[in-house]
Structure 1
Amino acid sequence: MSKGEKIIQNYYANESIDYLEPSVTSRTIIDDYLYKRKPVIIRGLIDDWEASNKWSFSWFQEKYGNIYTNVFSSGNEAKSSQMRLKKMFAKMQQGEILYSSLYTKELFPILSPDYPLAGTILSDTKFNWLLDLPKTIHGDMNVIFIGNTGTGIKNHQDSMGTHLWSAQIMGTKRWIVSPPEESEFMYEGKADWLKREESIEKYPKFKEAKALDFILKTGEILILPVGWWHQTEILSDSISITHDLVNETNYHHYIDELNKSHQSDPKVETFYRASKSIQANWAAQLTQKKTTPIERIYYSISFEDLLEKYLIPHQAVILQNQINHWPALHKWNLDYFRERFGNAFIQYFHGHDDKSKKIRLRKYLETNFDQPHYSMWCLDEFYDILAEDFDTIEPLNNKEKDWILDLPKKELNALTWIFMGTKGSGIANHTDRLGQHVYSAQISGRKR
């Protein structure tokens, strides 16, 4: 079983997409799919839309043939060129395979009555907070994709931290989607699902990838959570509408992306300015939990800033892009540990509050436990062997910054642990005993 298969099975429970009836509530989708980062398809929700009955290639050519749109043939929207719709349709009739992303900013007041959100969950401002933004930018949330058979969009992740919904107005489109935990296999989108063997030769880790592969049919709506990789292939001449989506489940992703990218991306800048005055109202709608959001830092941070802003005030923080060079990220897995370190002793727990027991690593990995289990492995004498696979992080990379590094080697080794666990396991609420700070590097999987 590949790593991608394990990710989809362990995190997302199945290898097929769920289908829901049009009576489904926005609360159900939020709780059962968006919080859990699971894609889902709704059937029958847009049967009454005028767009479903009248939109076609000939209709767009007749009504809006002089409108300019982005047209590309390579699957890469970044390589698109501006072209009038009528010229694009003429090229299609001559046999060219083309795809268009028609941004509806100017056309929105004219076209939106053909796909009225009113009366559906798509109009629920608790489901999509972006609907609270000024109507003058609602057109920036919509894209109409038009393409003939054989075209599509290359493998990619959407920007701006948004979920999306995509309504298939005409034709059929194949979607190949993978969760964000598979990012290391995607090579920034260079890996191509439609040329899998060729891609594996160029990008070897792509062989570990696994996707949900399904066909979106006329009248169906796909809801795809933030961060999911997706590639499409049009199976019959297609028109679809894609719409950005933000709510309590991805609010922090959205705000983080606005703050990070607004100065370099005009679209993001538009949403950044429009969202500023309403952020407090959105934040007040967040599900009240007895926890607070943790700050994520995407850039390189100095030791002085880490000390002043986080360590001295005792504020937790997540540092991203600090360990991308570690060999552990692509070497470490259960088979690797079993083969190389099977005789090492580790401590393991049944449940969060169970007392730990000692067991050899090989036996632990080969035991079929009847409930989620968790283990701790103090590296001790194995430290020197495993240390080639990881390193200190940049802001704490010498003895002046991390005084722990002054300790004798034996004691230093005893302060480094590897934690392993199955889905649903974990460790009980506690504080560490020595009064030290800790940093924990997530090598694979996800941990709350």
Structure 2
Amino acid sequence: MSPPVMNDGAGTCPPAPRPREGAFKPLDDSWLQWIAENRLRDCTPESMLATMTAAGLEPQACAAAIAGIEDNPVFRAARRFQQLQHKLESVTGNLQKLWESDAGYARVEKRPTPTRDEFIARYVRGCRPVVLTDVTHDWPAMARWSPADLQQRFGHLTVEIQDERNADANFEENKLDHRRMARLGDFVNRVIAGGPTNDYYMTANNEALRRPEFAALLADIGSLPPACDRALLPHRSSFWFGPAGTLTPLHHDTIMLFHTQVVGRKRWRFISPLQTPSLYNYNNVFSPIDLDRPDLDRYPRFREATVLDVVVQPGETVFLPLGWWHQVISLDVSLSFSYSNLDVPNEYSYRNPEIRNW
């Protein structure tokens, strides 16, 4: 039996199943690591001892190991680095508190397109999400795009989709496992007939807009928001199509982008990058928290997070600033167009964690 997962900051350990009668299990290195990790989480020695003995370990050996960890030189080194982490968390927490002192913080602004200078100052460098309401005023896509149009113009072409997502709780993290090829006309029929579902979706990973056969879709895009380089559009744009109910789980991107809703509505929820410590980001750019059903027993620090919520209507364009966490669900059959062709610096590096067993 592997050591159980602990609650971060909860103070007590979750119960473990009682072992069958017999000899005590060994206090191996995985348990010693577990002791160190959970003392760093400030779980109490008493709750840790209860969990370990319930898992079949010898109580006296467990008590000695828990008490002895505090004098371990490796653990003392970890405590020093923990102080540095706590300082960084206090810095981001104080900046977040300053952001939230703005009376309009909790509302995602919807507005006509500002000037380039205002857009860069307020939303790019100011790092604030916004919904622009008039970008698509001259887009042919607004009058033309529909499932029927896709079928008529491109139905004979093969595209990449994600499929069988409902069978995998981590479908987005494992998206490469869900790649399938489908004739677009057949996929259109499936979307229309299937009703609301998250089981299949043509997402940004399809790379269709890199193919000359889909150049007509790019020709349907008119004016662009401020700070966009038109020449980069074919290389930094993506097409999305799927049924109501398709979900993009909570994550952050590593660049800034725009996302224009052409057909159907999407609900976007945002969380500030300054609140990353509350989102249990153990694996790459993903959070395990489902904003519709947050498990506050397992992820108690999520209570500290402030969630911004907005429904994006057809013709509206979301600007996603750098590092903002977001979870997105389609409320209708949806056709969308996303693009990251900003003419300001838009390449950033993250030192992402790769801890998959917490």
**How far, CA to CA, are the matches of 1:29 and 1:96 in structure 2?**
36
Q: Which residue of 2 aligns with 1:63?
A: 153
Are positions 1:216 and 2:312 aligned together?
A: yes
Q: CA RMSD in A?
A: 2.8
What residue identity is the alignment partner of 1:105? R
Q: 2:275 is paired with a residue of what secondary structure?
A: helix
Higher relative contact order (CA 8 A, sep 6+): 2
* Residue in 2 that maps onto 1:193: 291
AA in 2 matched with 1:116 = G
Which residue is 2:298 aligned to?
202
User: How far has the Cα of 1:45 moved from its partner?
Assistant: 1.9
- Check the 8 A contact 2:237/2:341 in 1, yes or no: no
Conserved 8 A contact 2:196-2:245: no
For 2:94 and 2:201, how far apart are their aligned partners in 1? 34
| 1:87 is the counterpart of 2:182 | no
CA distance in 1, matches of 2:315, 2:343: 24
Is 1:235 matched up with 2:331? yes
How big is the shift at 1:132? 5.6
Asked if 1:155 is matched to 2:250, the reply is yes
Distance (whole Å) between structure 1 residues aligned to residue 337 and residue 321 of structure 2: 16
Provide the rounded CA distance (Å) in 2 between the counterparts of 1:79 and 1:181.
32
- The offset of 1:8, in angstroms, is 5.3
Alignment-derived partner of residue 257 in structure 2: 164
Specify the code of the residue in structure 2 equivalent to 1:141: R
Q: How far apart in 2 are the matches of 1:146 and 1:31?
A: 32
Whether the 8 Å CA contact 1:99–1:152 is kept in 2: the answer is no
Once the two structures are superposed, the pairs formed by residues 50-129 of structure 1 within 5 Å of their partners are 50-65=140-155, 66-72=157-163, 73-74=165-166, 76=172, 77-84=175-182, 85-92=184-191, 93-95=193-195, 97=197, 98-101=200-203, 102-103=206-207, 104-106=209-211, 107=213, 109-117=215-223, 120-122=224-226, 127-128=227-228
Further displaced range: 82-91 or 142-151:
82-91
Residue 17 of structure 1 aligns with which residue? 108
Matched to 1:170, the amino acid is: V
Q: Which amino acid aligns with 1:216?
A: V
User: 2-side partners of 1:80 and 1:52: how far apart?
Assistant: 30
Q: Which amino acid aligns with 1:241?
A: F
The amino acid of 2:131's aligned partner reads I
Q: Shift of the alpha carbon at 1:81?
A: 1.6
Retained in 2: the 8 A contact 1:8–1:15? no
For 1:217 and 1:8, how far apart are their aligned partners in 2?
28
Structure 1 gaps of 5+ residues are 261-297, 299-319, 325-448
Give the partner amino acid of 1:218: P
8 Å CA contact retained: 2:238, 2:337: yes
Q: Which residue identity lines up with residue 118 of structure 2 in the other structure?
A: T
User: What SS does the corresponding residue of 2:252 show, helix, strand or coil?
Assistant: coil
How far apart are residue 121 of structure 1 and its match?
3.6
Identical amino acids, percent of aligned pairs: 22
Instruction: Give, in whole Å, the separation in 1 of the partners of 2:96 and 2:260.
Output: 24
> Is the 2:195–2:244 contact (alpha carbons within 8 Å) kept by the matching residues of 1?
no
> Which has the larger strand fraction?
1
Whole-angstrom CA distance in 2 between matches of 1:194 and 1:7: 27
Deviations 1:351-403 (A, max 9, x none): xxxxxxxxxxxxxxxxxxxxxxxxxxxxxxxxxxxxxxxxxxxxxxxxxxxxx
Q: CA deviation at 1:181?
A: 1.0
Q: 2:269 aligns with which of 158, 176, 179?
A: 176
Aligned length: 240
Q: Give the direction of change, closer, same or farther, for the CA distance of 1:208–1:115 in structure 2 (3 Å limit).
A: same
Q: Distance in 2 between matches of 1:79 and 1:25?
A: 43
TM-score after normalising by structure 2: 0.60
Residues 95 and 168 (structure 1 numbering): CA distance in 2 closer, same or farther, change over 3 Å?
A: closer
How far 1:234 sits from its partner (Å)?
0.9
Gaps of 5+ in 2: 1-89, 282-286
Structure-2 change in CA distance of 1:203 and 1:86 (3 Å): farther
- Superposed CA deviations along residues 243-282 of structure 1, whole A, max 9, x for unmatched, are 114444xx2x61x43xx8xxxxxxxxxxxxxxxxxxxxxx
Distance of 2:325 and 2:342 partners within structure 1: 18
